[in-house]
Amino acid sequence: MTRQYFGRKRILVTGGAGFLGSHLIDRLLDRGDEVLCVDNLFTGDKSNIDHLSGHPRFEFMRHDICFPLYVEVDQIFNLACPASPVHYQHDPVQTTKTSVHGAINMLGLAKRLNCRIFQASTSEVYGDPSVHPQPEEYWGNVNPIGIRSCYDEGKRCAETLFFDYHRQHDLEIKVVRIFNTYGPRMHPADGRVVSNFIMQALAGEDITMYGDGSQSRSFCFYSDLIDGFLKLMDSPPEVTGPINIGNPVEFTIRELAELVLELTGAKSKLLFKPLPQDDPTQRKPDITKARELLGWEPKVQLREGLLETIAYFRRFFD
């Protein structure tokens, strides 16, 4: 069955009012697709999609994917789930439900429609890795009963469901593992390191550093990530993933803080606090598969991306 007219696709984006979902929708509309945005607005924000009000190829539906959804679409991007520790630990049972029940419902919809479905998984499936950098073949080091496990294990179970639907029902799936991503439209209170540091610096507050700041992360600008999403979704059926999409250039958290201070011109001091439970000490993607299978690698340098992100966050202080 096809619902395409004149080559245009109707695409469902769950979590479409969120940081990444809203940017993905912009790109889909720019290339001529129709988009159905579904979000329960638990962490998503309608301000991220207000600019699309009245767009002839955009539709918004407030809905929780923990409950079945009956729509007609050609492709599904499943991005729905709180993604920052502050948000996913606020209601951990609901976080697990969104990852697992949500995946079941979206996979069921894709099976009924016989359409391709994309899953936004996460580098959190690797836990606190003992292998560095992390290739897709690494199974991870995850605490199944820790305070982060609602998200880590929820996303791991979602991957299991996607691959079982692929094997059992021959469903076309695309699974991406997202590494730390930042940029405009991040929630200012999401608790992630980039938004935390920028908001604290702009407010003239001390920069909160957990641990000694030597733990490392790799930061990918949102536009590079969305490029990877689209390349994976449009790749041949045999390219199922999981595929790491992230920036392999590694920075310590202290280096990030110092760069934010430089770019904001803030005089904030560094305030050191204990490292949270199960917080990974290293996180860096091996993007060999993304390079070889998708021809993808990030282009935006951290300094360039931070300048754009800082400009976005300044509006909260105007």
Mean pLDDT of the region 182-207:
92
pLDDT of 116 strictly over 60: yes
Q: Is residue 200 part of a domain?
A: no
CATH number at residue 41: 3.40.50.720
Tell me the per-residue pLDDT of 3-37, one tens digit each, with 9 for 90 and over. Answer: 555 578 999 999 999 999 999 999 999 999 999 99
Q: Quick one: what percent of the chain has pLDDT higher than 90? A: 76
The parent domain of residue 59 ranges over 10-182+220-247+286-299
Q: Is residue 266 part of a domain?
A: no
Query: What is the secondary structure of the chain as a DSSP string?
Result: ----BTTBPEEEEETTTSHHHHHHHHHHHHTT-EEEEEE--SS--GGGTGGGTT-TTEEEEE--TTS------SEEEE--S--SHHHHTTSHHHHHHHHHHHHHHHHHHHHHHT-EEEEEEEGGGGBS-SSSSB-TT---B--TTSTTHHHHHHHHHHHHHHHHHHHHH---EEEEEE--EE-TT--TTS--HHHHHHHHHHTTPPEEEETTS--EEE-EEHHHHHHHHHHHHTS-TT----EEES---EEEHHHHHHHHHHHHT--PPEEEEPPPTT--S---B--HHIIIII-------HHHHHHHHHHHHGGGG-
| Total number of domains constituting the chain | 1
Tell me the per-residue pLDDT of 35-94, one tens digit each, with 9 for 90 and over. Answer: 999 999 988 899 999 999 999 999 999 999 999 999 999 999 999 987 756 666 778 898
State the Cα–Cα distance between residues 187 and 184, nearest whole angstrom.
9
Q: Is residue 110 part of a domain?
A: yes
Mean pLDDT of the region 265-290:
85
Q: How big is the chain, counted in residues?
A: 318
The per-residue pLDDT for 87 is 66
The per-residue pLDDT for 149 is 86
The per-residue pLDDT for 274 is 85
Q: Is residue 253 part of a domain?
A: no
pLDDT of 215 strictly over 90: no
Q: How confident is the model at residue 236 (pLDDT cuts 50, 70, 90)?
A: very high
- Asked about 151 being catalytic, the answer comes back as yes
Mean pLDDT of the region 156-165:
98
Beta-carbon contacts of residue 50 (< 8 Å; ≥ 6 apart): none
Q: Quick one: what percent of the chain has pLDDT higher than 70? A: 95
The per-residue pLDDT for 2 is 46
Q: Is residue 225 part of a domain?
A: yes
- Average pLDDT of the residues of the chain: 92
Q: Is residue 260 part of a domain?
A: no
Mean pLDDT of the region 168-192:
94
Q: Is residue 152 part of a domain?
A: yes
pLDDT of 123 strictly over 80: yes
**The one catalytic residue among 70, 88, 126, 151:** 151
Q: Is residue 28 part of a domain?
A: yes
